[in-house]
Structures are given as structure tokens and as C-alpha cells.
């Protein structure tokens, strides 16, 4: 069984999962940085401050939306895109390339947060070429494979 994801591994995990993500930061419920990946040590605090500022701005402006306070934010600027997603306990923000697909990147953010919160690892399918002899293709194995990461399944 895969090791449980810890907060300090989360930012790196997102960068690993989503190739378009250049940097990521995880904040705890108090807004303190729990993990930063993709920037040098001296810039980590600044990136975390800016990420916290995103939801501060959202909450000041959009708290009274009919669907409740926003849970995710996407800001496209000239040189890249910033995505952020939050749960009551954690906020995960990412800086991605402009070519990133919003729905996929936001799904990755949610999947990593779910893995952190519930301890359910993201199930990733393997390319046929990566398979070992022990995991030889069979109809049964193929039927169990899914092209998208699935949550809520035992590995």
C-alpha cells in the first residue's frame, strides 16, 4: 500500500501529478505555509503570503454568492495561471503554465487535497509500455483500468 500523503509532501505531489504546474504552496487553516515547492527557500514565504491573499480577496468580495463562499479560484494572467482550491482545513495554490487545462488542473488540486484529507491515494493508470511481466495485460486488468484518477477506491 502506498504511504499516506503528509502535508509537507503535498506541494511536491501536485507538481509531480500535473506537468503544467510550476510551483505549489499548501497553507493550513490559519494561513501558515505547510509546504512549498517550485521556488527557492528565500521566496517560499512570499509565495505563501500571496497565495493567502488570493482567498482573502475572494472572501472580501464574494462571500455572499448564492452557492456559498468560493472553493476554487482561477486567475489567468499574461505569463501564467494561478489556481487555488481549499477545504476547511487546507488551501492549495498552484502556479501553472498558460497552456494548462483549467478543468484538469483544478481536478488535480482537488484530488491531492482529497488524498491529504482522507488518506486515499490517487489511483493512476499505467501506460501499457510501463507494465511489468507480473502485471501482464489481461481482460480483467484492462476492465479495472480507468483513464482518469479515481478517488475513493482501495489501491
Partner 1 sequence: MKEKRKGPIGIAADLAQGFSATMRRMQREREPRLLVYDETGYARLVQPNGRGYESLLESAEEMVALVAQAEDDA
- Contact positions toward partner 1, by CB under 8 A? 22-23, 38-40, 43, 46-47, 50-51, 53-54, 57-58, 60-62, 65-82, 93, 95, 102, 106
Minimum separation from the CB atom of position 49 to partner 1 (A): 9
- The C-alpha cell 502535508 sits at 7
Residues 6+ apart with CB under 8 A from 95: 21, 22, 23, 24, 38, 80, 81, 82
Closer CB to partner 1, 32 or 61, in the complex:
61
CB of 111 to partner 1, least distance (A): 14
Shortest approach of partner 1 to residue 98 CB, angstroms? 9
CB of 153 to partner 1, least distance (A): 21
Single out the residue of 129, 123, 146 nearest to residue 137, CA to CA. Answer: 129
* Minimum distance from residue 120 beta carbon to partner 1 (Å): 19
Contact between 39 and 14 under an 8 Å Cβ cutoff? The reply is no
Cα separation of 129 and 15, whole Å? 23
Nearer to partner 1, 67 or 147 (CB): 67
CA dist 31 and 28 (Å) reads 5
- Which CB sits closer to partner 1, 6 or 18? 18
Burial grade of 70 (CB within 10 A; 0-12, 13-18, 19 or more): middle
DSSP codes, 26-47: EEETTS-EEEEESS-HHHHHHH
Comparing CB distances to partner 1, the nearer of 64 and 130 is 64
> Cβ closer to partner 1: 69 or 126?
69
Amino acid at each position: 500500500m502506498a504511504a499516506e500523503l503528509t502535508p509537507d509532501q503535498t506541494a511536491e505531489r501536485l507538481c509531480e501529478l500535473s506537468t503544467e504546474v510550476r510551483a505549489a504552496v499548501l497553507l493550513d487553516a490559519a494561513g501558515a505555509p505547510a509546504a512549498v515547492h517550485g521556488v527557492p527557500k528565500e521566496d517560499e514565504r512570499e509565495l505563501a503570503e500571496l497565495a493567502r491573499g488570493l482567498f482573502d480577496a475572494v472572501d472580501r468580495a464574494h462571500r455572499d454568492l448564492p452557492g456559498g463562499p468560493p472553493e476554487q479560484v482561477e486567475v489567468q494572467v499574461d505569463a501564467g495561471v494561478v489556481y487555488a482550491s481549499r477545504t476547511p482545513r487546507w488551501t492549495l495554490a498552484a502556479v501553472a503554465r498558460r497552456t494548462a487545462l483549467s478543468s484538469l488542473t483544478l481536478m488535480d488540486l482537488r484530488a491531492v487535497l482529497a488524498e491529504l484529507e482522507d488518506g486515499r491515494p490517487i489511483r493512476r493508470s499505467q501506460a501499457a509500455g510501463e507494465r511489468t511481466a507480473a502485471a501482464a495485460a489481461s481482460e480483467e486488468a484492462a476492465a479495472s483500468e480507468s483513464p482518469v484518477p479515481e478517488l475513493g477506491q482501495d489501491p
